[in-house]
Amino acid sequence: MTTSYLRPTTLDEALAALATTPTARVLAGGTDWMIPARAGAVPDALINIFRVEQLRSIRRTGDALELGACVTVAQLLKSKDVLQAAPVLWKAADRFASPLVRSRATLGGNLCNASPAADLSLALLACDATVTLASKGGRRSLTVEELVLGPRKTALGPGELLVGVRVPIRAGQVSRFEKSGPRPALEISAAAVAFTATVEGGRLTGVRIACGAVAPVPMRAKKAEALVEGRALDPALIEAAVEAAAGEVTPIDDVRATARYRRRLVAAYVRRCLEACTDDRRLHAAAS
């Protein structure tokens, strides 16, 4: 039974509360938390940070987009800055759950819940985002890969709170977000791919291929990235990268899909992403 429930309204209050009760469970939108809670999995102490206004802002600075941990998916979708500066994040948000869930689910919650199928984490991984963790003792920055250690497992220390996300803005970047159907949204991904790159003179640079629901954590297909980095794409190279990506993911069978199908989806999605880069018309669509 929950015996302690705090609802701070400022970041300092939240960090102080967390310092006092480091074992407390942090609650934001609650969309991942309510179902197990209803089934009886309630922690002793809860700190609800959903009303901390400082954590709900979206700011665009010169070279980055700064997002508070409690920015909701609905907020992301309404933001022109997100659409322009981090389109892959916007696209992931556009395929995220249902309008009801979107109005509660937060960016920080999606990261800290550390689901292998977390679509927003995947998009953040593809745009080299860093996260800021704060505690009474100070702050530190981690990459998404450093933060998410395994299913439901993060690098958050006792008393630490994820407070924000920083997405670097890269001019001329193209991006795609591919996720399994059959429903366009309201679907836990059987596999998803978030892709970003810069295309100049037919060559790809800064390629990021992030794959979701195909490993214990959202992962980058680094062998595939290395194959295409700095090179001009041709069908043989694309197929080689597709093979590489499908080979380096480590999916499992579960109620939503088999490992075999997940691998095939990664192949299909990586191929779509790369082919789009060879086609001016689709490239334009991917950049928008």
Binding site for other proteins (CB under 8 A): 180-188, 190, 239, 242-243, 245-247, 255-258, 260-261, 263-268, 271-272
Question: What whole-number distance in Å separates Cα of residue 53 and Cα of residue 72?
Answer: 12
**Shortest CB 260 distance to other proteins, Å:** 6
Gyration radius of the chain over CA positions: 19
Q: What is the spatial distance between Cα 174 and Cα 176, in angstroms, rounded to a whole number?
A: 7
Q: Which is nearer to other proteins, 220 or 271 (CB)?
A: 271
Q: In the complex with other proteins, which residue's Cβ is closer, 91 or 271? A: 271
What's the one-letter identity of residue 105?
A
Give the Cα separation of 248 and 145 in Å (integer).
16
CB of 237 to other proteins, least distance (A): 14
Nearest residue (CB) to other proteins, 70 versus 246: 246
- Order the strands of the 25-27 sheet from edge to edge: 4-6, 45-48, 25-27
Query: Measured from the CB of residue 75, what is the shortest distance to other proteins in angstroms?
Result: 22
CB 179 within 8 A of CB 95: yes
Q: At a CB cut-off of 8 Å and minimum separation 6, what does 114 contact? A: 121, 148, 149, 150, 151, 152, 153, 154, 217
Smallest separation, CB 246 to other proteins (Å)? 2
Task: Please state, as a whole number, how many other Cβ atoms lie within 10 Å of the Cβ of residue 288.
Answer: 10
Whichever of 147 and 241 has its CB closer to other proteins, that residue is 241
Give the nearer residue to other proteins in terms of CB position, either 50 or 261: 261
Least Å distance between CB 267 and other proteins? Answer: 4
